[in-house]
Structures are given as structure tokens and as C-alpha cells.
């Protein structure tokens, strides 16, 4: 009858689920809204994840009892209490007593980023997180808990530094920067006082301005203040990556290092160049790359491999032949 594996990737904005057959074919795919219980609570997260899983199983023509194993890679699966509550409040009502793995969503991004069952993923989007798995199977996660717990970069922190820079340039504490005009224009503000009045208690509006993109634009154009912000962010990502590699004892290994997240797509290449140079100084055989597959594919691969199965080149050929084309 064959074995089937469920992979779920649930984030702050959307949830994806898929069913993989053991030979590599994608049998079903489903979508839902935010599956992060920290954002909307357990009931809403369960409803959206169930929506995606039900659709994927329906397309595959399967009942949950036919699943050999599932892997739920969920945003918000961070601390021990999450791993105690999520199985009972989210997973059991959806797929019952079927065997499962529960991981933070960053591990789906890592596994989907490479054909290898090991490697390192550094993600710099709105926030930062890094995860890795070595050839011996040891896994480590660094960051993803917020700035108060040591995460010192990410798009939001870059934006805050840029806002601080334009206010300090205006009030005399800092040097002039092209970021002032760029950010005021984006906000539709006539002056710094007007900008402060508009944004003082409106974090959502600030996030919509795309300030990180403006920092990279100004940095590429030669603005020294913006350049310093970009380099500080790159240094922090390099520190995170090299610490992870060191703890996993992968300095002499050959492995894929997946660079994910919107900040790595910034206009000024100095960010990636700085991170890459620092990491290769410590791990010269690291192969920098962008994610190969979506994180939900990684979740499916984790479910399959946790059952003792291994992927082959033929497996990936079948997978790629059945993946939906974007």
C-alpha cells in the first residue's frame, strides 16, 4: 500500500501542508491562514492548520490513519511549554494518534533548503534565527526569541536603527544621513516632528514603510550612516552563523549554508559579502546557497526521514516532477 508522510509549515501569515509518498511523489497540497498560536491563540491556529491538512489529505485521497508519520514545523514552537501544549491542543485534534514530529518552523526551512539531511540555515527577515544539523544528527537552534534574548539584528532592528539615526541627525546627536529624506518621503511626513507625531504609537505603520529596503538603498548609494547599519547587521549574522557552526563542530565539514530571509535580498551586496567572508574564514568548505525548496517540503522530508527512510536522487526527481509550478 505504500507509506505516506505529512509535512506542515505554519507561520505568522499562512500555513501550508503536503502529503509525500515514500518514493517522492507529492500527492496532496493544502493552504490555510496563520498557524501561529502566539498571534491568534490555539483555537485559531488549530483551525487554520486543520484547514491546510484536511485539504492536502483530501487531494491525496487519504484518511489521517493512512499517514505513517507527520512533521509539524510551527512558528511559535519555541519553549518547553509550547512543546507540551501544542501536541494536545493542535496536533491530536487534527491527525489523532498518528506518529509525529514537532519542530520550530526554522527546521523546515533548513531541511527544505538542501537535498542533504544536514546543513546550516541562517534566516534574517523581520527577525533573525539560525538552525543547524550535523552529519551525526545533532541539532541546534540559535536565536528567534527576540532582542531581549540576544537577537541583535533582523529587518525590524535595522529599521529601528534607521529611525534612531534620522532623529539623532535632526536633533544634533548624530550625523546627517540620506535616510532622513528617504524615510520622510515614504511616511508622507513633512518633517521629523511630523514623522514622530505620525508614528509614535503606530508600530504597524512603521513596519509597512519598508525602511530596511531604504537602508540598503542608501547604503548602496554611499551613505555612511546606512552603510554602518548594514555592516552591523552583517556582523551579527556572521557571529550567529559561526557560533552555530562551531557548536556543531562543522568547521572542517562540507555542507550547504542556506541564507534565507528578506534582508539577504537587500540591494547592497555588502551585507551578503560580509557575512560570507566572515563565515568562510572559519568554515572554508561551507557552500552558501539560497533555499532549494519551500519549508513545507522540508517538513515532509523530515517526516519521511524520521521514519528511517532516506532520500535519493531518484526520489528528488519524482518530487520535482510533481511539485506545483510557481
Chain-centroid distance, C-alpha 266: 16
Mean per-residue pLDDT, 95-118: 96
Chain CA centroid to CA 26, Å: 23
Residue 324 pLDDT class (50, 70, 90 cuts): confident
Question: In the chain, count of helices (H) and strands (E)?
Answer: 14, 10
114 pLDDT above the threshold of 70: yes
Q: How far apart are CA 168 and CA 155, in angstroms?
A: 20
Residue 116 corresponds to which cell in the numbers above?
542533504
Residue 1: predicted pLDDT: 63
Q: According to the model, what pLDDT value does residue 225 have?
A: 98
Mean per-residue pLDDT, 20-41: 95
Q: How many C-alpha atoms does 136 have within 13 Å on its Cβ side?
A: 7
Band of pLDDT at residue 121, cut at 50, 70 and 90: very high
The predicted pLDDT at position 326 comes to 59
Q: Count the alpha carbons within 13 Å of 262 in the hemisphere toward its beta carbon.
A: 14
Check pLDDT > 70 for residue 123. yes
Prediction pTM value: 0.94
Long-range own/partner contacts, residues 160-164 (CB < 8 A, 24 or more apart):
161/215, 161/229, 161/232, 162/211, 162/212, 162/214, 162/215, 162/226, 162/229, 163/199, 163/206, 163/211
> Is 80 exceeded by the pLDDT of residue 289?
yes
Please compute the mean of the pLDDT values over residues 119-148 and round it to a whole number. Answer: 97
CA distance 1 to 261: 39
Which residue in this structure is represented by grid cell 574564514? 281
Give the mean pLDDT of 36-47. 94
Please state, in angstroms and rounded to a whole number, the distance separating the CA atoms of residues 255 and 286. 5
pLDDT at residue 12, rounded to an integer: 87
| Phi and psi, residue 118, nearest 5° | -145, 165
- pLDDT recorded at residue 325: 72
Q: What is the pLDDT of residues 219-228, one digit of tens each?
A: 999 999 999 9
| 3-state secondary structure string across 54-65 | HHHHHHHCCCHH
Give 260: exposed, middle or buried? Use CB within 10 Å, 0-12, 13-18, 19+: buried
| pLDDT value at 176 more than 80 | yes
Q: What phi and psi, each to the nearest 5 degrees, are found at residue 104? A: -65, 150
Q: Average the pLDDT over 281-306 and give the result.
A: 97
pLDDT tens, position by position, 213-261: 999 999 999 999 999 999 999 999 999 999 999 999 999 999 999 999 9
Domains of the chain in sequence order: 4-112+294-322 (3.30.420.40), 116-291 (3.30.420.40)
Q: Is the pLDDT confidence value at 318 over 90?
A: yes
Interval 292-302 mean pLDDT: 98
Residues 189-215, mean pLDDT to the nearest whole number = 96
Please name the residue that has the C-alpha cell 537552534. Answer: 141
Please name the helix (run of DSSP H) or strand (run of DSSP E) that holds residue 295, with its range, or none: helix 295-305
Amino acid at each position: 500500500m505504500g507509506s505516506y508522510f505529512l509535512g506542515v509549515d505554519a507561520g505568522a501569515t499562512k500555513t501550508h501542508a503536503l502529503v509525500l509518498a515514500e518514493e517522492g511523489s507529492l500527492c496532496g497540497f493544502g493552504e490555510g491562514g496563520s498557524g501561529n498560536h502566539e498571534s491568534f491563540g490555539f483555537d485559531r491556529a488549530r483551525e487554520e492548520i486543520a484547514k491546510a491538512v484536511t485539504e492536502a489529505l483530501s487531494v491525496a485521497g487519504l484518511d489521517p490513519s493512512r499517514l505513517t508519520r507527520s512533521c509539524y514545523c510551527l512558528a511559535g514552537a519555541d519553549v518547553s511549554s509550547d512543546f507540551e501544549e501544542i501536541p494536545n491542543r493542535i496536533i491530536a485534534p487534527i491527525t489523532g494518534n498518528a506518529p509525529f514530529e514537532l519542530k520550530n518552523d526554522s527546521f523546515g526551512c533548513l531541511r527544505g533548503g538542501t537535498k542533504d539531511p544536514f546543513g546550516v540555515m541562517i534566516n534574517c527577515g523581520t527577525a533573525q534565527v539560525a538552525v543547524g544539523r550535523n552529519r551525526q544528527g545533532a541539532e541546534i537552534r540559535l536565536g528567534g526569541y527576540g532582542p531581549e534574548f540576544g537577537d541583535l539584528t533582523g529587518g525590524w532592528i535595522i529599521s529601528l536603527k534607521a529611525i534612531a539615526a534620522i532623529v539623532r541627525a535632526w536633533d544634533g546627536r548624530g550625523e546627517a544621513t540620506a535616510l532622513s529624506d528617504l524615510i520622510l518621503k515614504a511616511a508622507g511626513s513633512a518633517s521629523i516632528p511630523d514623522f514622530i507625531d505620525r508614528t509614535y504609537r503606530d508600530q504597524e505603520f512603521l513596519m509597512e514603510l519598508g525602511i530596511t529596503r531604504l537602508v540598503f538603498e542608501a547604503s548602496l548609494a554611499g551613505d555612511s550612516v546606512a552603510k554602518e547599519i548594514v555592516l552591523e547587521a552583517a556582523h551579527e549574522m556572521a557571529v550567529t552563523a559561526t557560533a552555530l557552526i562551531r557548536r556543531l563542530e562543522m568547521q572542517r565539514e562540507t555542507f550547504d549554508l542556506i541564507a534565507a530571509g528578506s534582508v539577504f535580498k537587500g540591494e547592497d551586496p555588502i551585507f551578503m559579502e560580509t557575512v560570507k567572508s566572515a563565515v568562510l574564514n572559519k568554515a572554508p568548505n561551507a557552500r552558501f546557497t539560497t533555499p532549494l525548496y519551500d519549508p513545507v517540503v522540508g517538513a515532509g522530508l523530515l517526516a519521511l526521514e524520521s521514519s528511517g527512510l532516506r532520500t535519493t536522487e531518484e526520489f528528488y526527481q519524482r518530487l520535482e516532477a510533481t511539485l506545483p509550478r510557481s
